[in-house]
Amino acid sequence: MLEAGLCNYVLITYGHNARSGDSMKKLLFAMSGDDAIFGHFGATAGYAMAARRAMHEFKTGPQTWKQIAVGQRKWANLNPRAMMYKQTMSDRDYDTAPRVVEPFGLYDNCLISDGGRACIVTTLERARDLRHPPVTLMGLGMDNPSADLTRADYLAGPTGARRAGRQALKMAGITLEDIDACQIYDCFTYTVEITLQDYGFFQPGEGCDWLRGGTIEPGGSMPVNTSGGLLSEAYQMGMTPLTEGVMQLMGRCEERQLGPQTKTRNPEIILCSDNGGILQSHACYILRRV
Amino acid sequence: MSLKDKYAIVSVGYTPQGIVPERSALSFHLEACANAIEDAGLQKSDIDGLICYRHFPPSTGEPDVPPYLVAQHLGMTPAYLAQDAN
């Protein structure tokens, strides 16, 4: 609409009383098919099945996902807005968490939150006249490879992240080497792994080693989900990663700000993702501070 | 022509989040929108496009929240309204 000249300022909004209302329960029951009588219902079961398949096809599992859950929690502990701001997570906390749907324990699951999030998009020219440093959409990519889990001809990837990521990098004219941080849609820990893997940050099964040593944490070489993400900040859908990418590039993240104070690179380019269904649809955005 | 760097995100609107009882989905939309407009330093009359990100069934006792309802309650009449799927 902006490109067509029909709009100057587009407001994008999300809001939901998902935690205190009964909407999510209705949605998850509505998603359930005949397989619910065998115990397969809701988003967790779908992602758990995909993750289980991945465990058969390449080296992954809780030892990989623990590094994602614990690493993101360290970012949340720097973010007063995060639901988990005051709750630390140790390796042992992760290991001993109640099981939800195998192979997932509690901390492989995102939060369910009340709240809302909005942002405004305009032309770069108009953006320069406003209050904050503009954050441009440097690259965009989308790929929607299947209609639902049972019709997917993959379970362990490549997901839509493969093509969406390539499109976004091509449009931006950069490579993964140019990315300073990532904000990845993290409905489950496994979603972060398969998304980064399909973008090409590591080869299938190498995620566990890539993550080792705090790669995604404060002080790490590739910070991921610096607000705590859907796992540890709050579930504002894809607005959680998108707006965190924007706030980091604007330099407005206070204690968790990327740069010297968190012993990370000063961010100029941040890659964000969103996905829908059970890994059915995918969007990749590359944001840049100009 | 490439869209690279032609468009920019200029503000973010937050709301209280977590466990925030006794609030409608619509109320979170309105608060987030108002905060995003203020954060940009814009007026609501400047906004001429509104996109509601994803759409869920309303909780019991609440109205469905399509974008026109958000616009109406904000007192805006954008030229363009859109609803993302869920």
Q: Which residue has the higher pLDDT, A234 or A156?
A: A234
Quick check: A213 pLDDT over 70? yes
Interface TM-score (ipTM) > 0.95: yes
Q: How many CB pairs under 8 A join A and B?
A: 235
Q: Out of A15, A119, A171, name the one closest to residue B11 (CB).
A: A119
Over residues A25-33, the mean pLDDT reads: 82
pLDDT at A159: 94
pLDDT at A50: 94
In terms of CA atoms, which chain B residue is nearest residue A137?
B5
Confidence of residue A149 (pLDDT cuts 50, 70, 90): confident
Q: What is the pLDDT of residues A47-74, one digit of tens each?
A: 999 999 999 999 999 999 999 999 999 9
Contacts of A6 in chain B (CB under 8 A): 48-49, 79-80
Q: What is the pLDDT of residues A92-119, one digit of tens each?
A: 999 999 999 999 999 999 999 999 999 9
Contacts of A12 in chain B (CB under 8 A): 51, 53
Over residues A213-240, the mean pLDDT reads: 98
The answer, as to whether pTM is greater than 0.90, is yes
Catalytic residues of A: 185, 235
Residues 6+ apart with CB under 8 A from B3: A3, A137, A140, A171
Q: Out of A2, A120, A242, name the one closest to residue B11 (CB).
A: A120
pLDDT at A40: 85
Confidence of residue B55 (pLDDT cuts 50, 70, 90): confident
d(CA A34, CA A41): 9
B50: distance to nearest CA of chain A, Å? Answer: 5
pLDDT at A259: 98
DSSP secondary structure letters along A137-188: EEEEEEE---SSGGG-S-SSS--THHHHHHHHHHHHT--GGG--EEE---SB
A27 touches chain B (CB under 8 A): yes
Q: Which of A239, A232, A280 lies closest to A112, judged by CA?
A: A232
CATH class of A9-289: alpha beta
d(CA A226, CA A233): 9
A31 touches chain B (CB under 8 A): no
Please state the domain extents for chain B. 44-86
Contacts of B19 in chain A (CB under 8 A): 19-20, 83, 113-114
Contacts of A15 in chain B (CB under 8 A): 15, 25-32, 65
**CB atoms B49 and A19 under 8 Å:** no
The token duo for A224 is 């991921």
A55 touches chain B (CB under 8 A): no
User: Is the peptide bond preceding residue A103 cis, with omega within 30 degrees of 0?
Assistant: yes
d(CA A259, CA A234): 23
pLDDT at B1: 67
- Per DSSP (E only), the strands in chain B are 7-14, 49-52, 80-83
